[in-house]
Structure 1
């Protein structure tokens, strides 16, 4: 397929330099026309890609309105964007992007009595609902992206989600909108009677003229609107012309779902609903997905559930294959497809009563093996997570081709859903699209699916296009909608005539002309849409860079390009709270500093599009700058639904970027820390003294690229290995001896905190284990890995594996105390040495301190520590190692642990020490960790197994002395009362 048909759009005639200058001069906001920003905004969650002219991040709503005026003066196309998660391509355009999400996110007012509130467009749904919780209210519609989608984006897309079963679509919950047209008409619009509409038209002005044109469109097409608009719960395709019919002329309803093609929404007044206090969940199993669909009308005949969701057998198969949401899957009853029906009530008893009434009506009971019930909120959330995970789980399934959106949210009446699914499955088979994983909002007849479209070849793209037209005809024949939730954008805009007919599409064009006669608002979407096979992110000319990678990327066929294209734009990395991903986004609110934004830039760098803003490949400063604030916390490795591992991608990029080039000073001073520590061990007192001479210390930090606000940690008077060599006690075990474990002497514990290793030895030996410690210098290679010095990291790791070979061959567990080093052995070693058998043995045998006790000494009773502890979980514990064993060990020791949901501490190894990172580092710590420590009572212990976490806490809260779990347990051992246990055996610190 020729490039002109594959991805190009009409060239812009805008004077970009003059436009940028005027925006900078006149708009209170961040005006960004740089390559990095443009690359980060080049696509959304769809198959489409268009590089923006530039991005404006207004600080106020008025500044956003001013930006529209400047664009109007320059005749520049405009795209108003929320969270950027659209699946139809409506959030990517060769336009000026207005991103409201960073600053224009205020809850302007709340009227609890009227159950309404006024919000700015950039407020995130979950943030809004958290703020409304004090009033016992929330906004009803809840898409799967609720943690990061914005209300403005929901208005633009007419978003729904599972809760729309009970609360309706966004359009059903909007009272008024403050809109601004491209030509400058600004007004609050809502629902008007015919008399009120006539008054506004008679009043004249721009708004009166607009209303008059829209009334004429309505009157001309009213009869056909009534005939052609499907009477189903989930019709999201096309403009809401039906909002202009009936007793009230709902101009706000028309703007909802128009995807930014008609007007910019500046504020919204929305309806709220009471928070339902209690819920109960019923899961029903069926032989196949069509049989589950057949059961929906019968269920709806007997109840009005809060949610009625479906999961197909293939989706569950993918979850099992990928090891995701296994707890959720385990809760499902017998079957190969499932319906999940949720009931709400004022009490648990009320919700349960509705559940049991439905079971009785269906002739079923809780004892049936195809029935599972729960009224436990946590269990219900676990089950619903499996449904919400559909998009991520199906993106890169392990045993089938990559899958893509494109026909991912068609909808029909629930009464014909089963028949539609059987016909749709037959259509898949006809086109050779095998093993579809179907799921969705079956109570509303909405079907979600990602398809194995072959979008990297000309024939594959042609088949993709042909399939979409056939699918459009199929859903129309069943009285359905092309889209039941995600909107049209470019993915379905060209297909609208198949659904509505020429006359209604003409009406869409007339509405568009009334609002936007110059076609500057998100052009090429919905009306006069680009072809479905234009502007493809991949396409027949997809030809990414094939540079040989330093790392193995075993989950992506050894291809860094394939790994970098994992991101499908879901946007979970744009959360403001919860989990670890993505700490730099949480504190900067910058798209470029989200996992998604970085992945987009890597894609741009590798793909080499002629119009790409990233033109300098591995030498790209735009990519380097975007990755500079990546903390390499690995939160994305666990939190990203599609398994993007930006820490690994950053290491590969740094290795390529600085290949045969001088590196930043911190790469030498911090990257070579293990070697420096080994040298410092010869005279630690002298080194510590030198590092604290004011003039010398400041000069040293400048030369080393260290942040001036940081104080280097003190080297121990004697390393743990040195103390071990002078240990008085029984001889250590040999490889293969029973109850033997090897304690890994990581650089940080060994040279800075040897007391932790001593404590660990005492606890492990008290548990009946025999401890061996390697006495030769060795390292996991972490600091070289994190600074992208991958050749050295591999050599260091190979040497370590060689020295540990007897223990590896004997199957002896290797116990780690430092989470970041443990993560290298458990995870990163697979990237560094993917085919090394000793590395595989190490991955199998390496355990954390708590895991060693759990697995090797299950009968040991830990000493009773008691009391409370604030626990900072290291981000690598969260993302790679798991924390269940630690939680259980603390419970058994009587520790009342408050495990903070604080994400990364912000120091993150070398990151927080590097010059230029201090402010971001401390902002990460100030999110949750440091405020929690300040309010914790003085007698509350502070637990932090990670050296970085302890260092960050000590730098910020000097009155707090954080401990490793091994230290806290050792303090409670009977022999520790006299303080002699470790000291007698291995000497002092």
Structure 2
């Protein structure tokens, strides 16, 4: 036997010599066309993935080209430095963090290079995000088959590394089934396209000689010596993701080196490009939902259901349903589930909706009367239900019980025909270890079961208990002929347990396979082969947050601790979406494509800050401040993040501590204190406007105020809204009772016509309108700039003024969404008093009041069209359903833009240094939509920031508030 093949299986490769980090950094800067980052902040960003593990990298390279990435590997080879290729960073088993040089391919190396529609194939670079690839393919009715739930963030390279699956694997198989060829780079510099290898191709490679010929020769020797072992010891299972794909080297599989490398988690080669087979996108889909007595009965029915050949066959149990119901009260996706405590969600495709629906109906007839069922028959409802199933990880992570869950045994797979029996045994195992509250759900059509566990990863006893459970669980899965991983991979979480599944001989063969490509163990070391222990490198083990002695917000969902909130992110990367996918978060990431500008990246840096061993300057941290500087505080993450990370609140808290007893940026004194300056300006608004808008003086004012020179300063109104209201002859008592109209700073001092319109609408609807007679403020501008002590005092004053009305049950109507959101959300967390909570309960938007208190009111005549930009804070806190209903009642046909944040975001777009990002956010979707709006379509925007940004597009279109639109409909001649 070739000693070069045999030796690495017998001993652990030598560890890297001590790394001269400064020399490595200089060599990389000289050789690599890209961004070379060795600062602690960048290293902290990449120290975690979506798993329980943390390993601080040596440094980070963001190459601008594939060749630059190859150059980075060459430098690492010359310095004997480990390498980790990273895609979306969503790995759940720890394979995406390591003490190595991290190469992040996602920012630049993300192109779809070619699409061959006729042959149904696509060639992409490794950093291309799945959803972005599918967005390109959609024009030709095609898509990549595997669709993991991380599709907004996962990259093609990462999917190849993990052999990704998702719900669609039921119909289209794993990623290995889609891979035709790969362009690979070995640690020692071989770069080649690989794929299936017939005898002629093998002879050609051998004739060419060199290192590539050696690789192929040694692989064939390995195959010949182990093929019978592979044929007998590999489980006959569609969802086997654990281990290396040695079975793809077998003659019957065409000695397919590309597919053998799929699922190797970056431990063998660097994948540069991939040629993939793609599939037609189903023209129509339909979902049938089957209800069972429990999840075990649902599992028993899987073979019968799978016989109907669905596109996807998913499951969820009563625990997941209960958690989702508690977190998402009123979610329409949960409303129509059939009776039961375990459900199968079965998706069919067809050329027409009727054809897909008939297949669903046929399944329900076949299941018989003992199974409850429903056919949704509505694409929107089906999509909501599917998104709910995809959100299982987020729903489960922070249950209402307060017992946090973690990845532990999250994706084992067994033969589907044995799934029911396995689940019953697995449930008993959970009970013995005290983990019985765990939800069970997943891709039951292929026997893959998901579920996080309430394990204790903070104490020695808890970790020892977790290890004992994992060992028993591995033995249980192996006894059923299953795979330890059916989707998420081995990484560090499962690799140590592979001998229990495969036996020692196969695991030794894995070591030999790795040695062919990476004899020195420099490619993502410690994962899959020669693994670190599953209870090493746990992020929670030594996590002692440096909790601030004094904090401003209460963090009610995080045990009152900022440190817990900072570590809340579970790393799934939903904040790394593209603009075409809609939603709000994360606007600055969409512009920069930088990890530090995603919600996840900022959360990771805050976590490192409170950990204190990498980022050691605490609240004074420049790295954290730099990452948070481009956070627009849009609050999109509060509603769109799977675990409701609230970065706007964390940013405010950070700024409060960061600038404590220090001079602040000028914009904090100008924009942050805007309510005060507005009150002072009310004495002579004309003179102030002349000063701030005169060509020469305006530039000076902006410089002093820290405002971007490109911005036009807002113009103060000649008469404030409260002055107009106080001088007005009041209407008589309303038939529907009293309401308090909140005169926020923006309505009061800049757009009083909106307040006036709101008064007319409310009185027309039968309400008696009251307005606080003096200038008050919710504290928003102080909150957004982190001046939280002042914000508390300002908010407390306003709460005292509103308390008598609130105690009398009088609704408080907000017109500015961001100010309304303060009363509804930020206020009770910043000022946790009974009065603040009462005001929060009484506060409504104009649309909410009209919908809930005047639902029977109909205008005499109405109509028209509108294009609506929803304010981010409204989207996150109040929602837009009431607005849609009121607009429908007025007959106003409204197109609601899914354009994300406008980019202005209060003071953000005005601040010097933010203009380019602010405008880029607007150009992503909002400004093009405004330009495309027809002359008969009103532009609807309730937020002052949104209206300001729309005006900055210089289209000549003026955005209007809902109150104005309704007032015009009621008084068309006014």
Using the size of structure 2 for normalisation, the TM-score is 0.97
Flag structure 1 segments of 5+ consecutive residues without an equivalent: 1-8, 980-989
The alpha-carbon deviation at position 374 of structure 1 amounts to 2.3
Q: Which residue of 2 aligns with 1:791?
A: 789
Distance in 2 (CA, whole Å) between partners of 1:202 and 1:226 is: 30
The alpha-carbon deviation at position 13 of structure 1 amounts to 1.9
The alpha-carbon deviation at position 957 of structure 1 amounts to 2.3
Distance in 2 (CA, whole Å) between partners of 1:674 and 1:591 is: 35
Q: Which residue of 2 aligns with 1:983?
A: none
Q: 1:498 aligns with which of 497, 500, 504?
A: 500
1:333, 1:369 within 8 Å by CA — same for their partners in 2?
Answer: no
Distance in 1 (CA, whole Å) between partners of 2:736 and 2:284 is: 52
1:780, 1:824 within 8 Å by CA — same for their partners in 2?
Answer: yes
Q: 1:964 aligns with which of 961, 964, 969?
A: 961
The alpha-carbon deviation at position 342 of structure 1 amounts to 1.1
SS of residue matched to 1:394: helix
Distance in 2 (CA, whole Å) between partners of 1:377 and 1:467 is: 41
SS of residue matched to 2:719: coil
The alpha-carbon deviation at position 655 of structure 1 amounts to 0.8
SS of residue matched to 2:114: strand
Q: Which residue of 2 aligns with 1:724?
A: 725
Alignment of 1:804-823 (within 5 A): 804-823=802-821
Distance in 2 (CA, whole Å) between partners of 1:894 and 1:147 is: 36
Distance in 2 (CA, whole Å) between partners of 1:805 and 1:950 is: 31
Q: Which residue of 2 aligns with 1:985?
A: none
1:658 aligns with 2:659: yes
Deviation digits for residues 692-751 of structure 1 (CA, Å, limit 9, x no counterpart): 223322222112111111111000001001111111243678xxx951101000000000
The alpha-carbon deviation at position 624 of structure 1 amounts to 0.7
Deviation digits for residues 73-108 of structure 1 (CA, Å, limit 9, x no counterpart): 222211111100000101101111111111111111
Distance 1:883 1:522, change over 3 A: same
Q: 1:880 aligns with which of 861, 864, 877?
A: 877
SS of residue matched to 1:249: coil
Alignment of 1:612-627 (within 5 A): 612=614, 614-627=615-628
1:279, 1:375 within 8 Å by CA — same for their partners in 2?
Answer: no
1:116 aligns with 2:118: no
2:818, 2:943 within 8 Å by CA — same for their partners in 1?
Answer: yes
Distance 1:414 1:544, change over 3 A: farther
SS of residue matched to 1:921: helix
The alpha-carbon deviation at position 325 of structure 1 amounts to 7.5
1:165, 1:444 within 8 Å by CA — same for their partners in 2?
Answer: yes
The alpha-carbon deviation at position 202 of structure 1 amounts to 3.8
1:319, 1:325 within 8 Å by CA — same for their partners in 2?
Answer: no
Q: 1:608 aligns with which of 589, 609, 612?
A: 612
Distance in 2 (CA, whole Å) between partners of 1:172 and 1:738 is: 64
SS of residue matched to 2:493: coil
Distance in 1 (CA, whole Å) between partners of 2:16 and 2:842 is: 58
Deviation digits for residues 113-156 of structure 1 (CA, Å, limit 9, x no counterpart): 11111011111111111111121111111000112211111111
Q: Which residue of 2 aligns with 1:253?
A: 259
SS of residue matched to 2:301: helix
Distance in 1 (CA, whole Å) between partners of 2:929 and 2:755 is: 27
Distance 1:971 1:362, change over 3 A: closer
2:242, 2:485 within 8 Å by CA — same for their partners in 1?
Answer: yes
Distance in 2 (CA, whole Å) between partners of 1:152 and 1:12 is: 29
The alpha-carbon deviation at position 12 of structure 1 amounts to 6.6
SS of residue matched to 2:274: strand
Deviation digits for residues 770-804 of structure 1 (CA, Å, limit 9, x no counterpart): 10111111100000111111111111111111111
1:238, 1:496 within 8 Å by CA — same for their partners in 2?
Answer: yes
Deviation digits for residues 245-277 of structure 1 (CA, Å, limit 9, x no counterpart): 133101001111000111111100000111111
Q: Which residue of 2 aligns with 1:478?
A: 480
Q: Which residue of 1 aligns with 2:778?
A: 780
The alpha-carbon deviation at position 960 of structure 1 amounts to 1.2
Moved more, 291-300 or 87-96: 291-300
Distance in 1 (CA, whole Å) between partners of 2:755 and 2:233 is: 74
Q: 1:913 aligns with which of 907, 910, 913?
A: 910
Moved more, 13-22 or 284-293: 13-22
Q: 2:273 aligns with which of 257, 267, 276?
A: 267
Q: Which residue of 2 aligns with 1:440?
A: 442
Distance 1:304 1:915, change over 3 A: same
Flag structure 2 segments of 5+ consecutive residues without an equivalent: 1-13
Q: Which residue of 1 aligns with 2:104?
A: 99
1:194, 1:249 within 8 Å by CA — same for their partners in 2?
Answer: no
Q: Which residue of 2 aligns with 1:406?
A: 408
Q: Which residue of 1 aligns with 2:294?
A: 288
Q: Which residue of 2 aligns with 1:580?
A: 584
The alpha-carbon deviation at position 541 of structure 1 amounts to 5.5
1:852 aligns with 2:849: yes
Distance in 2 (CA, whole Å) between partners of 1:362 and 1:935 is: 50
1:277 aligns with 2:275: no
1:175, 1:270 within 8 Å by CA — same for their partners in 2?
Answer: yes
2:545, 2:563 within 8 Å by CA — same for their partners in 1?
Answer: no
Distance in 1 (CA, whole Å) between partners of 2:376 and 2:234 is: 39
Q: Which residue of 2 aligns with 1:37?
A: 42
Q: Which residue of 2 aligns with 1:175?
A: 180
Q: Which residue of 2 aligns with 1:741?
A: 739
SS of residue matched to 1:361: helix
SS of residue matched to 1:421: helix
Distance in 1 (CA, whole Å) between partners of 2:329 and 2:920 is: 31
Q: Which residue of 1 aligns with 2:839?
A: 842
The alpha-carbon deviation at position 927 of structure 1 amounts to 0.4
Distance 1:589 1:797, change over 3 A: same
Distance in 1 (CA, whole Å) between partners of 2:545 and 2:941 is: 46
1:126 aligns with 2:131: yes
2:602, 2:624 within 8 Å by CA — same for their partners in 1?
Answer: yes
Distance in 1 (CA, whole Å) between partners of 2:280 and 2:969 is: 49
Q: Which residue of 2 aligns with 1:317?
A: 322
Q: 2:220 aligns with which of 206, 215, 218?
A: 215
SS of residue matched to 2:449: strand
SS of residue matched to 1:191: coil
2:543, 2:611 within 8 Å by CA — same for their partners in 1?
Answer: no
Distance in 1 (CA, whole Å) between partners of 2:364 and 2:324 is: 28
Deviation digits for residues 320-353 of structure 1 (CA, Å, limit 9, x no counterpart): 1212682111121000110111111112222223
Moved more, 838-847 or 864-873: 864-873
1:629 aligns with 2:633: no
1:124, 1:149 within 8 Å by CA — same for their partners in 2?
Answer: yes
Distance in 1 (CA, whole Å) between partners of 2:143 and 2:134 is: 5
Distance in 2 (CA, whole Å) between partners of 1:732 and 1:33 is: 68
Distance in 1 (CA, whole Å) between partners of 2:430 and 2:53 is: 22
Deviation digits for residues 390-414 of structure 1 (CA, Å, limit 9, x no counterpart): 1101111111511000210000000
1:545, 1:607 within 8 Å by CA — same for their partners in 2?
Answer: no
The alpha-carbon deviation at position 958 of structure 1 amounts to 4.8
1:559 aligns with 2:561: yes
Using the size of structure 1 for normalisation, the TM-score is 0.95
Alignment of 1:366-445 (within 5 A): 370-445=372-447
The alpha-carbon deviation at position 385 of structure 1 amounts to 1.5
SS of residue matched to 1:915: coil
Distance in 2 (CA, whole Å) between partners of 1:98 and 1:375 is: 45
Alignment of 1:709-720 (within 5 A): 709-720=710-721
The alpha-carbon deviation at position 11 of structure 1 amounts to 8.1
1:830 aligns with 2:834: no
* Matched residues, number: 958
Q: Which residue of 1 aligns with 2:3?
A: none
Distance 1:541 1:800, change over 3 A: closer
Distance in 2 (CA, whole Å) between partners of 1:410 and 1:807 is: 57
The alpha-carbon deviation at position 863 of structure 1 amounts to 5.4
The alpha-carbon deviation at position 53 of structure 1 amounts to 1.4
